[in-house]
Amino acid sequence: MNSADLGRRVGVPSTALFTDQYELTMVQAALKAGTADRHSVFEAFTRRLPEGRRYGVVAGTGRLLDAVENFHFDDEMLTFLRERNVVDGPTLAWLADFRFSGDIWGYPEGEVYFPGSPILRVEGSFAECVLLETVILSILNHDSAIAAAASRMSVAAGGRGLIEMGARRTHELSAVASARAAYVGGFDTTSDLAAGFRYNIPTVGTSAHAFTLLHDSERDAFRAQVDSLGRGTTLLVDTYDVAEAVRTAVEVAGTELGAVRIDSGDLLLVAHRVRHQLDELGATGTKIVVTSDLDEYAIASLAAAPVNAYGVGTQLVTGSGQPTCSMVYKLVARAVSADPAEPLQPVAKKSLGAKSSMGGRKWAARRLDEYGVAEAEVIGTGPVPDGLAGRQLLAELVRGGEVVAREPLDAARERHIAARQGLPMSAMQLSKGEPVIPTEYV
């Protein structure tokens, strides 16, 4: 990878086999039929938001750009495809030379979206666009789900610190992507060093219960940690008796103790008791961090507690009950030749159920009310109305196969904060409801 939002350059293998077999067999059949080069437009969108969610969050765009850039078939991959008889010789020859050469437009990372929003538009030949379907959906569906959960938790936290700590609750590579998406959605730090290394996300961490249990006494454990990490460290105080641990922590570290962490029990009650005890001991500047299977609802329930930061793991990396956004990637327009000047014909699947879609290359804009608050997501295929021309949402990401829109991860994080603030106040409600603004087609 060589994305500008990486903390380090990290070599990765080709992403070309992060795909479903039918993408390649479609290419083979289209090559034989002479339709593989037809100028085509694909769009990624979702027909509905996860149940009860008021808005979605676009995340993973930076990873997606890296994936497109690294999508190529090396000799070992081609040998695998040949030995498995996945595709024929002419298709293997075509794949050997493959590099995406089309254009990609999309909602910038961190932006919010709604049902029908053309989150990503991929344009080029049919064959090169269809090959990217699975890897695009894999990244967007996962990262956007995590970012949406993170955004809700950020709202619930009300400005208090948020620590992503879910690495041990998911696949090791998903953990890195989750930490990145959580940062976009509003989290401040991560415990995952790989995420810090790759994406320059601030990392934190001190000790677990095992460290306390290792020592002959809790005092010995606290002394060892303070001697090594300094008085500003965070001491875990619920291994045995919380009140006794807090007293010992202040005796060992002094009133300059950075923080204490509570990982079990009635967090609301314990946090109040710990705050009162710390203040009585003179450690008025010592902060309180709480962990223990938190989600946005648990965080919101602690709003009245004297808590300074929340550590969230399982519920965050699983999307807080919504691990995917159900985005799809559909052909919406195609020409009868490879000539980009050839008129595009809108195409769409016809369905009696809920899987119908709207054909045509789309634009999207967000209409604001008189107070500057979003009131509708407007989507169309024809000319953009004058009043919406300056409110268009899609940005150019790839031009002629070259990435043109890399940015620091902090830019996506700041964009999300601004986008969320531009929504109606009801978007901040954690209760289930419909999308906070309607989608209008013109």
> Is 121 in the same domain as 223?
no
pLDDT band at 238 (very low <50, low <70, confident <90, very high): very high
Q: What percent of the chain has pLDDT above 90? A: 93
Q: What's the confidence (pLDDT) of residue 350? A: 81
Q: 253, 273, 307: which is the final residue of a domain?
A: 307
In a domain, 6, yes or no: no
Q: What is the domain range of residue 235?
A: 206-307
Q: DSSP for 4-26?
A: TT-SS-------TTSS-HHHHHH
For residue 243, the domain's CATH number is 3.20.20.70
Q: What value does the mean pLDDT take over residues 333-358?
A: 85
Q: What percent of the chain has pLDDT above 70? A: 96
In a domain, 200, yes or no: no
- Per the structure, the count of domains in the chain is 2
Question: What single-letter DSSP state applies at residue 87?
Answer: S
Q: 274, 307, 340: which is the final residue of a domain?
A: 307
Q: What's the confidence (pLDDT) of residue 101? A: 97
Widest CA span of the chain, in angstroms? 81
Euclidean distance between the first and final Cα of the chain, in Å? 40
The pLDDT tens digits of the residues spanning 241-275 come to 999 999 999 999 999 999 999 999 999 999 999 99
> Is 326 in the same domain as 241?
no
> Is 361 in the same domain as 281?
no
Q: Which two tokens stand for residue 418?
A: 């601004």
> Is 294 in the same domain as 365?
no
In a domain, 188, yes or no: no
In a domain, 404, yes or no: yes
Task: Output the CA torsion sign for 85, 88, 93, 94.
Answer: negative
The pLDDT tens digits of the residues spanning 83-98 come to 999 999 999 999 999 9
Pairing between β-strand 439-441 and β-strand 287-290 as defined by DSSP bridges: unpaired
Average pLDDT, the chain: 95
> Is 288 in the same domain as 366?
no
The size of the chain, in residues, is: 442
SS3 398: strand
> Is 253 in the same domain as 353?
no
> Is 291 in the same domain as 401?
no
> Is 30 in the same domain as 142?
yes
Q: Distance between CA 148 and CA 373 in Å, rounded?
A: 20
In a domain, 90, yes or no: yes
In a domain, 172, yes or no: no
In a domain, 156, yes or no: no
C-beta separation of 109 from 61 below 8 A: yes
Q: Distance between CA 73 and CA 14 in Å, rounded?
A: 7
> Is 126 in the same domain as 64?
yes
Task: Output the CA torsion sign for 272, 276, 279, 281.
Answer: negative
C-beta separation of 372 from 422 below 8 A: yes
Q: What's the confidence (pLDDT) of residue 3? A: 45
In a domain, 189, yes or no: no
Phi, psi for residue 113 in degrees, rounded to 5: -145, 170
SS (HEC) of 199-254? HCCCECCCCCHHHHHHCCCHHHHHHHHHHHHCCCCEEECCCCCHHHHHHHHHHHHC
> Is 271 in the same domain as 236?
yes
Q: 307, 342, 360: which is the final residue of a domain?
A: 307
For residue 45, the domain's CATH number is 3.20.140.10
Residues 6+ apart with CB under 8 A from 31: 90, 91, 94, 127
Q: Distance between CA 144 and CA 131 in Å, rounded?
A: 21
pTM for the whole structure: 0.94
> Is 437 in the same domain as 407?
yes
Q: Distance between CA 388 and CA 378 in Å, rounded?
A: 9
> Is 356 in the same domain as 273?
no
Pairing between β-strand 103-106 and β-strand 395-399 as defined by DSSP bridges: antiparallel
